[in-house]
Amino acid sequence: MASTTLTTSFSLLRRYRSFRGHAVAKSLPNLSFARLPGQSPALLRSCRFICRNADEEAAAIAAAKVAGSGAPTIFDKIIAKEIPSTIVYEDEKVLAFRDVNPQAPVHVLVIPKIKDGLTQLGKAEPRHAEILGHLLYAAKVVAEKEGIVDGFRVVINSGPQACQSVYHLHLHVLGGRQLKWPAG
């Protein structure tokens, strides 16, 4: 199943890449796409319209397929220090490290060290209130350390319509340049 998902996602990605240079938002509704096994048409439609970037869309569709399983993600390996990352802040509850694909001069991810079911913000329950507050405060500490506390943005993508690609709750801390609004 995993390889099927991957193959189909790359196929989607290739088809989208062939449309680069066009007004993507206008082109996408005219395309017809094969649906992944077990994937709802609504999910595919949502990703097609909302995730304007081909790479983001393919990743979001693939990630959404396994999101409910609670399976370990790449962030578990980063927490375990099994794969390298550039850590900018750490305490007993959270880890903050630089995004591998930065969207701004400062782009740091802040994650809980223990997932406890928090695959995405949309799964938050009352017991998560403390860690959610801690994560937000850690984002401010990161902004201070990075010298952007006077102007920065915190983003949480939750679910496929927001192009979430890693199902371990994380805050994006972005800054170091003029950020536009509204976000895409």
If one asks whether residue 99 binds ligand 5GP (CB under 6 A), the answer comes out as: yes
Answer whether the bond into residue 84 is a cis peptide, omega within 30°.
Answer: no
If one asks whether residue 50 binds ligand 5GP (CB under 6 A), the answer comes out as: no
If one asks whether residue 164 binds ligand 5GP (CB under 6 A), the answer comes out as: yes
Binder among 111, 131, 163, 171 for ligand 5GP (CB under 6 A) = 163
Q: Give min distance, CB of 29 to ligand 5GP, in A.
A: 23
Q: Which is nearer to ligand 5GP, 99 or 161 (CB)?
A: 99
Residue of 22, 128, 168, 170 with catalytic role: 170
Residues 139 and 154: beta-carbon distance below 8 Å: yes
Q: Which is nearer to ligand 5GP, 109 or 173 (CB)?
A: 109
Q: Give min distance, CB of 180 to ligand 5GP, in A.
A: 17
If one asks whether residue 9 binds ligand 5GP (CB under 6 A), the answer comes out as: no
Binder among 58, 64, 135, 166 for ligand 5GP (CB under 6 A) = 166
Q: Is 107 a catalytic residue?
A: no
If one asks whether residue 13 binds ligand 5GP (CB under 6 A), the answer comes out as: no
If one asks whether residue 101 binds ligand 5GP (CB under 6 A), the answer comes out as: yes
Handedness of CA 176, 177, 179, 184 (dihedral sign): negative
Residue 134 CA to residue 112 CA, distance in Å, equals 9
Residue 143 CA to residue 61 CA, distance in Å, equals 31
Residue matched to tokens 């949309």:
122
Write a three-state SS string for 115-154.
CCCCCCHHHCCHHHHHHHHHHHHHHHHHHHHHCCCCCEEE
Q: What is the CA radius of gyration of the chain?
A: 17
If one asks whether residue 89 binds ligand 5GP (CB under 6 A), the answer comes out as: no
Q: Give min distance, CB of 122 to ligand 5GP, in A.
A: 13
Residue 112 CA to residue 131 CA, distance in Å, equals 7
Which of these segments, 7-15, 41-49, 110-118, 164-172, binds ligand 5GP (CB under 6 A)? 164-172
Question: What residues does 89 pair with on adjacent strands?
Answer: 96
